[in-house]
Structure 1
Amino acid sequence: MKEFVINQNDAGQRLDKFLSKAVRLLPKNLMYKYLRLKRIKVNGKRSEISYRLQEGDKVSLYINDEFFGSDKPLFLSAKPDINVVYEDENILLADKPQGLIVHEDEGEDVDTLINRVQHYLYLKGEYRPEEELSFAPALCNRIDRNTGGIVIIAKNAAALRTLNEKIKGRELRKFYLCLVKGVPRLEEATLTHYHRKNEKENLAEIFERPRRDTKTMVTKYHVLQTNGRYSLLEVELMTGRFHQIRAHMAHIGCPLVGDGKYASNWKEKKLGFSYQALYSYKLQFAFQEECMLSYLNGKTFQVERVWFAENGIPGVLSE
């Protein structure tokens, strides 16, 4: 028998959601069966799967030890190297380098941003997996492997819930720098088009008018510098669509330098552009209501260095 005492980070969850994280090796069909058979109890009694756990509840599991596992945490195999933009007791803003994935995928299951962050916090003594039943520091937003910039990490469950709510309500403003081919027709504009993800080709399709299966896509941009052939832009996302900036800029005839999916990039690769010139470089908190993170409201955080924009348009593109 194994018993969990629910702590602050675990409280508020449905019982089945908690069990799926705390006992990852337990198949769902067995979980439901054991709940029916009272081999999983809450405070000594049979419980519904929809019961929301409260701090101090005791969850008792009369199941085989094999379902609990004993291997060391995966994150200990990742490097604890991260570039911290900002950090406090609730959140961490990390500057993700281009080429690093944020979560595990089929080809990479160790060296990810979240594993690096968890290892970093573990070494600081701020994340103790042996004391946590179901919570682990978690990412609140994602950016593509080949895009760099600010990723938000919640250090506790309350911060995670708050940030997820604020992101859903568009109360965080995200700004990107990108280097594009050509010069946009207007120095600054708010673009509105219609977006559809092509799952088969893994790319975004953009349309001038809405279709039955499209979603509205809104992107604001401002030209910071141009030499007539290339332009450096600041872009703010007003919606969060798949490949939004890359696809939207390509749609108006100004694809990103180094982007091989929405344009040809063979020339830029020879000039040292291994990735598309796109960086999530600035984040502003713009909360509309009081919350546990209100001390951040109105604050702006920015990465110190964006490799393709340190001194304006790179010299290799000025010729």
Structure 2
Amino acid sequence: MIVLEIKQNQAGQRLDKFLGKFLPEAPAGFFYKMLRKKNITLNGKKAEGREVLRQEDQVTLWLADETILKFGGFLLPPQSADPGNRKQTESELLYSRAYEKLQGITVIYEDAHVLILGKSAGMLTQQARTGDLSLNEWMVGYLLHSEALAPSELRLFRPSVCNRLDRNTSGLVLCGKSLPGSQALSELIRSRALRKFYRTLCVGRLGADVPGTATEIRGYLQKDSRTNRVTIGSQPPGEYIRTAYRPLRHFYIPADSRSLCFTEVEVELITGKTHQIRAHLASMGHPLVGDCKYGDARINHIFLQKFGLAWQLLHACRLEFPSLEETALTTLSGRIIQAPLPEYYEAIVGELDNPGTWEF
């Protein structure tokens, strides 16, 4: 017999789904048979499997240890067991290694359900292949290290990032610490109720339809999986996309002429598709500075030589949450979360503001 108490990060899922995670090799029919016979109960009572679990619910499995192990489950250690003597799993070792080795990650915001991190350029948000160290592994390692998450809980719920940034884009990444948090964040992103803003520097003079306001542009995005590039068209086929931009200031090099111009822009990502900001602005003739896929090779070479910039200058700077009631995100209701600009970004913009020393 084993008793499983539902933790905050496991609440919000159906009982049968929870059982499927605890005993992953058991057929679905096994659970319903055990529920009918009351060999599996919820809070000491007969259950059907469709019940939505709440924090502190107790799921009791009146099953032999051999049956639990046969179906891929695990036995809870006795209360007196020394956790220091427990051998770490391969996954736990990966999380620990990511937490120890990855640099340039900042905890911007944290509560019981949500973690908002700031990542540096050059870091994967999620694994591209098995064994990669990414922000996602660092985040789980951080939760294990801070004891916000117990190793035994990883079988029943695994925290994860909820939005992705390109490897060479810096800034804010949303993570679900609990199942309710992950579900609420995913719905917020899906419904586009969460507003996501970026700062970037693009080539050329980008103007607004109305000075000082944001201009919305639309199009259709098609991805070539072979080259991992996207193209933007004004008509289908493709995924419909919406991007809004607001020019902040213009820079001219040299300062007394208009031979070379750059625009610092705030961009709102209304629909979030692959390379959307980079490709959308490039399709208008204003590629991002440093962008190797969609950018201007001559301009990129100048910024590489002068600043060592080998990636697109794009930073996820701000998240604006709507009013929220009775969800795992109530502590974020109406809040604005910001990530400071990277030092190299500020240094580049500072140099553009004083271009007297520039040489070509």
Contact 1:256 1:276 in 2 (8 A): yes
Give 2:227's aligned residue.
201
Runs of 4+ that moved beyond 6 A: 46-50
Give 1:259's aligned residue.
291
In structure 1, what is the Cα distance between the partners aligned to 2:60 and 2:320? Answer: 40
CA-to-aligned-CA distance 1:279-315 (integer Å, 9 cap, x gap): 1011111136553423322221211233354257252
* Residue among 25, 31, 56 paired with 2:58: 56
- Higher Cα Rg, which structure: 2
Structure 2 residue 46 is matched with structure 1 residue 44: no
Other structure's SS at 1:235 match:
strand
Other structure's SS at 1:122 match:
helix
Give 2:97's aligned residue.
77
Alignment of 1:58-207 (within 5 A): 58-59=60-61, 60=63, 62=67, 64=69, 67=72, 71-72=88-89, 73=92, 74-80=94-100, 82-106=105-129, 108-109=131-132, 111-131=133-153, 133-186=155-208, 188-207=214-233
Structure 2 residue 304 is matched with structure 1 residue 269: yes
Name the TM-score, length of structure 1 as normaliser: 0.83
In structure 1, what is the Cα distance between the partners aligned to 2:140 and 2:313? Answer: 28
Structure 1 unaligned blocks of 5 or more: none
* Residue among 313, 320, 331 paired with 1:295: 331
In structure 2, what is the Cα distance between the partners aligned to 1:202 and 1:149? Answer: 22
Other structure's SS at 1:114 match:
helix
**Do the aligned partners of residues 158 and 45 (structure 1) sit closer, same or farther apart at CA in structure 2, a change above 3 Å counting?**
closer
CA-to-aligned-CA distance 1:53-75 (integer Å, 9 cap, x gap): 63322355815469458742131
Structure 2 unaligned blocks of 5 or more: 75-86, 253-260
Contact 1:231 1:313 in 2 (8 A): no
Q: How far off its partner does 1:87 sit?
A: 2.1
In structure 1, what is the Cα distance between the partners aligned to 2:167 and 2:48? Answer: 37
Q: How far off its partner does 1:178 sit?
A: 0.8
Give 2:341's aligned residue.
305
* Residue among 270, 293, 317 paired with 1:281: 317
1:154 partner amino acid: G
* Residue among 242, 247, 269 paired with 2:279: 247
Q: How far off its partner does 1:132 sit?
A: 5.3
Contact 1:102 1:113 in 2 (8 A): yes
The percent of aligned pairs where both chains have the same amino acid is: 30
1:189 partner amino acid: T
In structure 2, what is the Cα distance between the partners aligned to 1:172 and 1:134? Answer: 28
Other structure's SS at 2:346 match:
coil
Other structure's SS at 2:187 match:
helix
Name the TM-score, length of structure 2 as normaliser: 0.74
What is the number of equivalent residue pairs in this alignment?
309
